[in-house]
Amino acid sequence: MICRTPAATTKDQEVKLAAAKANRDSDVLIVVDIQNDFCPSGALAVPRGDEVVPIVNRLGKTFRNVVLTQDWHPAEHLSFASAHPGHAPYDTIAMPYGPQVLWPDHCVQGTPGAAFHSGLHIPHAGLVIRKGIDRTIDSYSALYENDRATPTGLTGYLRERGIKRLFLAGLALDFCVRYSAEDAVREGFAVVVIEDACRGIDVQGSVAATRLSFAALGVPCIGELAAAG
């Protein structure tokens, strides 16, 4: 995929230079939700989601610090359409914390669908953070649940480790990657999205909204080679 924000080329060059010179000790690669249920034939498949696996594996080798995230819901999670009689997947309902898209049942704790894609191979990843574990609230972001107020704990981990800049890759671009990027900016981290290491699901214009959000926040979208520095 190509980042279509007007300033993409300039930002790409800037970030490429910055990445090449960076002290990698303060960078982290966040690998978002590369799980069976988000890959083709999974319960909530992101189109071509499995294509990012070899890209992310290559990227992983260029980062000393890597965090994996894992969507990890109890059965009957309230983000599942099946928990709301009369509603279908991809409907949007009002939850106490705001609008919530309803999804097919997915990434139920301990099931094969919740496992990482078998091809994902980043053995030196230092942390796996599981999210969406509270039945009553969804968690797209790796940093905050969907109320944008309840922390997952990742921010504290990153701060204690001296991390200054997050490179984001994974699934899906327009939900968990987007929310993670927005929350990380809000927390004061530098944020870069490695767009060819992401795939979108595109519900109700969500990919276009994501591009607008990244442009408004000044989050650059770069390619694998630029991110590898």
Q: Which of 37, 50, 71, 131 is catalytic?
A: 131
Would you give the end-to-end CA distance of the chain in angstroms? Answer: 19
What's the gap between Cα 147 and its chain centre? 17
Q: What is the CA radius of gyration of the chain?
A: 17
Q: Which amino acid belongs to residue 144?
A: Y
Give how far Cα 145 sits from Cα of 35, 66, 100, 136, 139, Å. Answer: 19, 21, 12, 10, 4
Query: Residue 71 or 183: which CB sits closer to Zn ion?
Result: 71
Q: Which residue has the tokens 């796996």?
A: 128
Query: Residue 202 or 224: which CB sits closer to Zn ion?
Result: 202
Letters for 101-140 (x = contact with Zn ion by CB under 5 A, - = none) are: -------------------------------x--------
What's the gap between Cα 67 and its chain centre? 11
Letters for 62-81 (x = contact with Zn ion by CB under 5 A, - = none) are: ---------x----------
Q: Least separation, in Å, of the C-beta of 183 and Zn ion?
A: 16
Q: Has 11 been annotated as catalytic?
A: no
Neighbours of 142 (CB within 10 A): 30
Q: Which of 227, 225, 202, 211 is nearest to 4 (CA)?
A: 211
Q: Has 138 been annotated as catalytic?
A: no
Q: Which of 27, 33, 50, 71 is catalytic?
A: 33
Q: Least separation, in Å, of the C-beta of 120 and Zn ion?
A: 18
Q: Which of 176, 183, 196, 198 is catalytic?
A: 176
Which residue is nearest to Zn ion, using beta carbons? 71
Query: Residue 114 or 219: which CB sits closer to Zn ion?
Result: 114
Distance CA 201, CA 204 (A): 10
Q: Which amino acid belongs to residue 99?
A: P
- Token readout for 119 is 């091809």
Total residues binding Zn ion (CB under 5 A) = 2
Query: Residue 71 or 145: which CB sits closer to Zn ion?
Result: 71
Q: Has 33 been annotated as catalytic?
A: yes
Q: Which amino acid belongs to residue 170?
A: G
Applying CB under 5 A, does 33 fall inside the site for Zn ion? no
Query: Residue 132 or 220: which CB sits closer to Zn ion?
Result: 132
Q: Least separation, in Å, of the C-beta of 220 and Zn ion?
A: 27
Active site residues: 33, 131, 176
Question: What is the binding site for Zn ion (CB under 5 A)?
Answer: 71, 132
